Each structure stands twice: as structure tokens, then as C-alpha cells.
Amino acid sequence: MSGHRRLLDLREGDSLFLLGNEAVARGLLEAGVGFAATYPGTPSSEVGEVLNDIAQEAGMYFEFSVNEKVALEGAAAASMSGVRSFAFMKHVGMNVASDAFMSLGYTGVRGGLVVMSADDPSMYSSQNEQDNRHYAEMAWVPLVEPSNPQEAKDFLVYAFELSERRGVPVLFRTTTRVSHMRGVVRAGPRKQPSAKGSFKRDPWHLSLLPAVARRLKEELLNKYEVLRKDADSSPLNVIIGGGSEVGAITSSAAYNSLMDALPDLEVKVDVLKLGMSNPFPEELVGSFLRSHKTVLIVEELDPFLELRTRALAQMLGIGTRVIGKMDGYFPPAYEYTPSAVRSSIARALGVPTVDAKPMDLGVELPPRPPVMCPGCPHRATYYAVALALRQLKLKATIFPNDIGCYGMGFYKPFEMGDMTLCMGSSIGTANGFSQVTDQPVIAFIGDSTFFHAGLPALVNAVHNNRHFLLVIMDNSTTAMTGFEPPPNVPYEAGGRPATPISIENVVSAIGVKYVKVVDPYDLRGTLAAVKEALGYSGVSVVIARRECALLRDAEIRRSGEKIPVYEVDQEKCAGCLNCVQDFSCPSFYANDKGLAEIDAELCDGCGVCVQRLVCPPAAIHESKEGRD
């Protein structure tokens, strides 16, 4: 059991310094949640890491689902059986789950059901920046937004109570800053979970045929009117200050930046903080508008609150000046910092500010693009593909890529990332490229991503007689988000035994005729398979199977052995620097003599570099000294 055990041991009134996502996990314990499911995605991943450790002991069922849609559908079924349920994901995961989410307002829920969307302003770990508050409005369900770890826990408990009281799912929205900030959290009482329920049939409420759905839409609209009153009286919506002619409406992490910015401005501002922002609390906001001559709207991403505030002011005939993104005073994108909020308010109100100038370091820092770890099997795979293309003299090859560690193939020296849209899109776009061009197409996808969203696109490719090579990089984990188990390994959440799903059997069953499994550390074997696959007419699949180097390292350490390291014989090194420039392992560097050397602290002992395809003069050999 890891340090997450402390969340189980907390008693009511105890305090602990927690990450926002750890506070969410504690909130699940206090809410008595019996079923939780996710597909891992930053910035929500740590919730799953905690539950992976403690769910079983807490009496909660937890799983890493094959994708977000399956996670939500499982949680919905548990809710319909009377079990409090939770599905969580990153913001783009809501796109995958949205089919189910948009219908759950109609069916309603029985046991409380909360869906967490962790949005990612500034795209720290995502392919786009989207504002998932819109999902709550589209689905006609409540939206709850915490701004710190204490609220993450407390608001989550409130969300479950609201869900059960009104019979609707609740969207619980965090952002990267809320999920990853730390703060002191005071524990509340734990509610005993129930992981088992009983389902009672009611197809006229749960089977959304048109005749059922039309009636349920009317019921949902009636519920929504009740929820409007809940929003106006919600304890999550609070006014801070009073008596100023200037007010501000804010929510989520933007609230923190606003409160940090205000002390440095020569103006007093009353703040309306919205923790339940959908349905929009019209009565509360209308009263706030009437009592202020100017109201600032401070929110990250879309003008969600601003649009509704402006519409309400117009509808009620209130002449308060509303200032926000739409009139150009606040940034339209990216995460808000106190400095950005401070300068925006100062410009909007014409007041002085004490913004500090950025420190001049006197040097230009070099760029630091992300790289694959030393020993990463994906590097060897990309290197073998590059060799194959060079030997076959193939030009203008198109490289659709996907979401995962192997996305680092986008960078030099491999530059094999021509298009990446979303999970599974490498195979989907390979369908289109192979149809409308005569260029070679090589698509890359990981094992977890393949099961998440790649399967339907591969079915489409086989059925429609496409011609491309698909390289499935099987490292037996979901490495980028925290080493969660994908469906091809023999264990699941909490280490429970699971039935592994064979990628090669699935691919063959779909109808792919050329399927070959290779070890990417075996460069000659991988090179031969890639060249052969590129000559095949139709869809060919090469599965590059080698566990993640970090998992391998952990296993070596558990055994008490040392990780082997390699070194360069300076007498044999020819100075070609192929290992540095073309193989591009970060443990290699060029010394002041122009010869290659290996940093023993970085070397992971994979031994790929020993092969002549990386080091033609055979100047690399294993060191006598390993490392811990």
C-alpha cells in the first residue's frame, strides 16, 4: 500500500496537505461512492492512481476502462442499480463519452452520478483547449466548479447529494491548476459505500426510443426549472466583499488569479464566485448586476459566464457595464495568471498597477523539446522504420501519428508525425491518405490507444481495401499518464487478475492478412519486418512488442540487481555520431574531441546501441559497473 493509504485513515476534522486530485479521491470516500471508472488522461490521472491503491480496501469498485464512453456507461448502469457512481476523464475524453452523457439527463439517475471533466487551459498535456462547461448546458444538467483542493472534496460531496436529490447527473469540472495545486484539506465524515445494488426494470424511462425520449425531454426541462432555483440558492455561490461600485463574476481557477491580482490594484472590487455555474443563477447574478455600475467577468477559456451575464442584463434592462473577453479586455485563450488578470483589470478600469517586469537572465535558454526516455523501445522502432525507408528509397511517406509517448516521434531526428487529431486518429487518417494519394502511408499507434479508439478505423481499412502499414507500439502500459494497465496485460486496477486481449489475434480476426510481432530491440528483425510489410498490398500490421523501459527498470530493482550500463571505447569510436544524431538516445553526447560518450547516469542498459546498425565500428560495449 502506498502513501495514498493516508486518505483512508483520515478522521473527521483531520487536515492533510493534498493535491487537488487526491482531494477528489477523498471526496469519493466521503460521498460513499461504490463504483468509479476512468480512461486515464492528464490532468485527471492522479485520481485513478489513488483509487488504484485504495479502492478495494475502501469497499469501492474501480476500473481502468477501455475508453471514456465505456467508463461512463458502466457508471450509468451502476447508478441505475442504486449505487453512487463516478466517471472521470480529461477534457477531450468528454468528447468520447458525450454520446452517453447527452442522454443521461433524459434518463435521469438513481444512485448519485457525477462525471468529472479535467480541462487543460494552455494545453500542458493536450492536443486542444476546449471549455467543457458547454457540455453541462447542452445536456441540461448542473455544473459544479471547485477552485482549490478543499472545494474539490467538499463540492464533490455536494454534487452527489444534488444528483440524487434531483435525479440528474452532475458535471464536475476541474482544470489543470485545480487538479494539480496543493492545499490543506480538512476531512469530513466518510459515508459507507455500497458497491452492489439492484436494478429494477423501467424501459419507458431508460430506453431512449423516440417515443420515450420526447416525453423525457419535457421531464428534463421541468427538472431544469427546479435546478435554476437550486443554483440561485446554492451555498457554492458566494459574494465576497460589498459596497463597491465595481464587481467581478468568476469561477474555478480564475477565481484564484483574480484574488491574487486585486491587492495590487488601486480599486475595490466585490466578487461573486460561482461554484455552481449551470443552470446560470439568474436571480443572483441579476441582483449583483443591479448593485454595481461595472462588472468584470474573469474566466478562463470561452466567454461562458460573460455571454450569459450580458444576455441577462439585456433581458432585464440593466445598464451595468459588463467587461470581459468579448470587448477585448481579457485574454480569449490560455490559463490565467495573476499578472494577466491584473493588467486586464487595470486597462479596463484605467487604474494603475504594480506589475513586475520579467527578470532578464542575460542568456537565451535553449529549447528543450520532449524526448523519449533512454531505453524506450519506441525509439528503436522509429529508427528501424527510418532505416527501412532509406534502404527502400521511399520518398514522400506520410506518417499519421497518435496520442501517447510514441507521439515524440514527431520531433527530430525521426520526424514521423505528420498528423495527429485525437485518440485513434492515426488509423482513421491513414484510411483517407491511402485512398486519395499514391504516397506510402505508415501509421503509428500505441497498445492502449489501439484498444481505446483504433479498432473501428482498422475495421474500416480492411473492409474498404486500404493500403498502408500500421505499426502498433506495444509497451504493455499506458505510460504517458501513469502506467495504467491496458487490455493486453493480465492484470487490471489494483493488480486484480484480468484476461489479456491479444493484439495480434484481434488484428487477425478483423481480417488483416499480414501481421508480424517483433522485438524493437532486435533492429535487424524489426527492419526486415517493416520492409516486408511495406511491400504487402493491403493493410499490413507490425506489432513492436517490448515493455516500457521504466517498467523494466522497476522489475530489475525489485530483484535486487543493478541496471546494466554501456560505454564507448574511445579508441574504436570513428566519430560518426550516428548514435547521437540519428539514433538520438539522450544518454549519448559528443565530447570535446568529437567522439561519442555515454552518460552512465542516463544509460538504461537496453543494449540496442551495441548493434552495428547503430554503431558501425562496434565501439560500444557493456560496462563492468551497473547502476542502482
- Given a contact cutoff of 8 angstroms between Cβ atoms, the answer to whether 215 and 254 are in contact is no
The set of residues, in sequence order, having a beta carbon less than 8 Å from that of 406 and lying 6+ positions away, is 378, 381, 382, 444, 445, 446, 473
HSE of 407, CA atoms in CB hemisphere, 13 A? 21
- Given a contact cutoff of 8 angstroms between Cβ atoms, the answer to whether 249 and 298 are in contact is yes
Closest CA to 40 of 619, 479, 542, 382: 479
Query: How many residues appear in the chain?
Result: 628
- Given a contact cutoff of 8 angstroms between Cβ atoms, the answer to whether 257 and 338 are in contact is yes
CB burial string 301-310: b at 16+ within 10 A, e below: bbbbbbebbb
- Given a contact cutoff of 8 angstroms between Cβ atoms, the answer to whether 169 and 104 are in contact is yes
The set of residues, in sequence order, having a beta carbon less than 8 Å from that of 426 and lying 6+ positions away, is 400, 401, 402, 419, 420, 443, 444, 445, 454, 470
Q: Write phi, then psi, for 96 (nearest 5 degrees).
A: -70, -40
CB burial string 120-133: b at 16+ within 10 A, e below: bbbeeebeebbbbb
Enter the DSSP assignment of 567. E
Closest CA to 427 of 378, 384, 460, 393: 460
CA separation for the pair 619, 600 (Å, rounded):
16
In the annotated binding site for [4Fe-4S] cluster, the residues are: 573, 576, 579, 585, 603, 606, 609, 615
CA distances (Å), origin 314, targets 299, 303, 330, 580: 20, 16, 21, 64
In the annotated binding site, the residues are: 573, 576, 579, 585, 603, 606, 609, 615
Greatest Cα pair distance in the chain = 85
Alpha-carbon Rg for the chain, nearest whole angstrom, is: 27
Tell me the three state secondary structure of residue 117: strand
